[in-house]
Structure 1
């Protein structure tokens, strides 16, 4: 986690440095955990940074902002930048005496509550947690989503789910992926996506991905189509939209002509996502043939999407099992009959969307199985 810290007095700065050292010494919890990266700035005296400029820069570059000083200073500094709980960084304030650590913003999705607890342990402070679910010991779906690595498509629906649980009600959760562990109190596992209050899936929208999911069952791969209702049937009032949590389980196989720009790849990618009914945030990795490993457009696309790029040799791709769309031209060019579909399948997933060609770019999608868990880390 990248934490930007600012202190406003000598005493606060000394506390900030001690806290930063303690956070940086925290052991990594796993191979995907980059640990802590903490920078400390002075908001006072010699070397003082401008608070407005510091906040703007830290807001864009950091996962969390830590203010060592009055909470009011932090509130005024971040006010112009607050946009959405889905994107705002965590914000925590700790007094210069190190007595209280208070999460001010993004307690759940941004991880401010956990950061406040970690900072409190490092500084010997008391964490002051005020979110209702934490105070009352009720399952926080947004905290679970963050810990499970799930993106939230419609964060406005979090409030409805939490409100029902806080009132003693129950919610139904549907998942395209297996979930181990005992469901939290008030959570029922649903077998019908259409009746769920929470949908855990790589597919966007209530019915998106229906034909793709059907293809997984029948083995016949085809793009998602549109459905209609018989004429004369009166439409019912729509049910509240479920909270949609996106599973990063899709591998995008990508082929492109030499020199293809990032914009062309992005355009083809989004077109494929739309036809497949896949949420773009469900894509965990791009894959292609090794001769494309240094294509700047493809690398720029991956950087913009914050996804890794896996590359395979022609020999490795030729050994991938599964039905693909062969091309003599592609075979003559790179030594294998298909790049995008074979690359999508190379990680062991199942092809759910076949080759789409657009503007000199080809895209195909496979889905891998990810086991989720209700158990806390």
Structure 2
């Protein structure tokens, strides 16, 4: 999490240095406060001055940081952030501390943004009391959006978070189907569900990359683990649109969610191919470049092509790249060709902490 720590008073500025050091964050202090922190050991801490209108400055923070720690009165923070609040999926974590370091208040984006976790970390680092007000937390219930964030998952239908959480708060049973292994203390409010195991539950959570698990209950929340590695090769000059449509067709054919893509893997020859770079950028994916020497060690496991070897130096691209970029797991969709584009898919095997 990229954090900024903001202070407007001398005592707040001193605390901002301490917190910035603990979080590896940038400290923003009001212009004119520099003399008050010269003896506070600001070496190796990035310190910037707040110039101009504070509300406009807050907008800058919203655009450039994932976590914001304001050391000042809550009222100042509320009035300053109000114009920039969008929704829980996009807002940064906002925590407010008092300059005496008594409290760390999770003010905005407690679950998805991580403000609750940030407040707890500040408590561990400084001794401040974390103030958490989200209903599931104070009632000792599982927070499904926090579960998604902590396990690197995407929520497909965020509109179902509120009714599912409300069901938990009413004491209703929520069932969960998981394609993956779950680890941890299983909450009593969650019951595991197997397809075909009787009547479809009213409240359902699906943890899966598959898109063919039907939502037949009254409320179903889909959580998509980012666990799929896309191996890809293409002809030089393949257009952005052609590649995007090929991937969508490939994922639809294999009934896998685009939200579950974790990274794209390809060979060195294609690392600067425009359509691959643009697809990764558009979908927030890392591109992993696999050396030919690594592919050579496993290429006999796949059906290769001498024509491809002449062009690229290796007999296959999509399948071995997907396999090598996947830390552990299995090839779930073999090489598929779409007009000069080859694709394959691996699924990482790992445990998800509940």
TM range (shorter): 0.7 to 0.9
Instruction: Provide the C-alpha distance between the structure 2 equivalents of 1:331 and 1:248, rounded to a whole number of angstroms.
Output: 31
> In the alignment, what sits opposite 2:276?
298
Q: 1:39 aligned to 18, 26, 49, which one?
A: 26
> In the alignment, what sits opposite 2:95?
92
Note if 1:56 corresponds to 2:35: no
Unaligned runs of 5+ in 1: 25-37, 209-237
Instruction: Provide the C-alpha distance between the structure 2 equivalents of 1:40 and 1:150, rounded to a whole number of angstroms.
Output: 30
Instruction: Provide the C-alpha distance between the structure 2 equivalents of 1:52 and 1:135, rounded to a whole number of angstroms.
Output: 32
Change (3 A) 1:197 1:332: same
Which aligned pairs between 1:32-181 and structure 2 lie closer than 5 A?
38-43=25-30, 45=32, 47-49=49-51, 50-181=53-184
> In the alignment, what sits opposite 2:330?
350
Shift of 1:242: 1.4
Structure with more strand by fraction: 2
Instruction: Provide the C-alpha distance between the structure 1 equivalents of 2:85 and 2:212, rounded to a whole number of angstroms.
Output: 26
Instruction: Provide the C-alpha distance between the structure 2 equivalents of 1:9 and 1:269, rounded to a whole number of angstroms.
Output: 53
Instruction: Provide the C-alpha distance between the structure 1 equivalents of 2:206 and 2:269, rounded to a whole number of angstroms.
Output: 39
Shift of 1:43: 4.1
Which aligned pairs between 1:1-377 and structure 2 lie closer than 5 A?
1-24=1-24, 38-43=25-30, 45=32, 47-49=49-51, 50-192=53-195, 195=201, 197-204=204-211, 206-207=213-214, 238-260=216-238, 264-295=242-273, 297-304=275-282, 305-313=284-292, 316=295, 319-320=298-299, 324=303, 326-346=304-324, 347=326, 349-358=329-338, 360-374=340-354
Q: Secondary structure at the match of 2:176?
A: strand
* TM-score (norm. length: structure 2): 0.82
Query: Which string of whole-angstrom CA distances, capped at 9 and with x for unpartnered residues, describes residues 210-269 of structure 1?
Result: xxxxxxxxxxxxxxxxxxxxxxxxxxxx53341111112211011022344655544433
Change (3 A) 1:359 1:67: farther
Q: Secondary structure at the match of 1:156?
A: helix
Instruction: Provide the C-alpha distance between the structure 2 equivalents of 1:241 and 1:147, rounded to a whole number of angstroms.
Output: 23
Q: Decide whether the 8 Å contact of 2:5 with 2:26 is kept in 1.
A: yes
Shift of 1:176: 0.5
Q: Secondary structure at the match of 2:345?
A: strand
After superposing the two structures, state which structure 1 stretch, 182-191 or 313-322, moved more: 313-322
* TM-score (norm. length: structure 1): 0.77
Change (3 A) 1:262 1:70: farther
* Count of residue correspondences: 331
Change (3 A) 1:96 1:363: same
Unaligned runs of 5+ in 2: 34-48
Query: Which string of whole-angstrom CA distances, capped at 9 and with x for unpartnered residues, describes residues 188-225 of structure 1?
Result: 111128647111111246449xxxxxxxxxxxxxxxxx
Q: Secondary structure at the match of 2:333?
A: strand
Instruction: Provide the C-alpha distance between the structure 1 equivalents of 2:89 and 2:204, rounded to a whole number of angstroms.
Output: 19
Shift of 1:44: 5.1
Q: Decide whether the 8 Å contact of 2:330 with 2:348 is kept in 1.
A: yes
Q: Decide whether the 8 Å contact of 1:285 with 1:310 is kept in 2.
A: no
Query: Which string of whole-angstrom CA distances, capped at 9 and with x for unpartnered residues, describes residues 282-338 of structure 1?
Result: 1122112232234455345434423241414167257246555x5453233124343
After superposing the two structures, state which structure 1 stretch, 165-174 or 121-130, moved more: 121-130
Instruction: Provide the C-alpha distance between the structure 1 equivalents of 2:273 and 2:178, rounded to a whole number of angstroms.
Output: 36
Instruction: Provide the C-alpha distance between the structure 1 equivalents of 2:239 and 2:54, rounded to a whole number of angstroms.
Output: 38
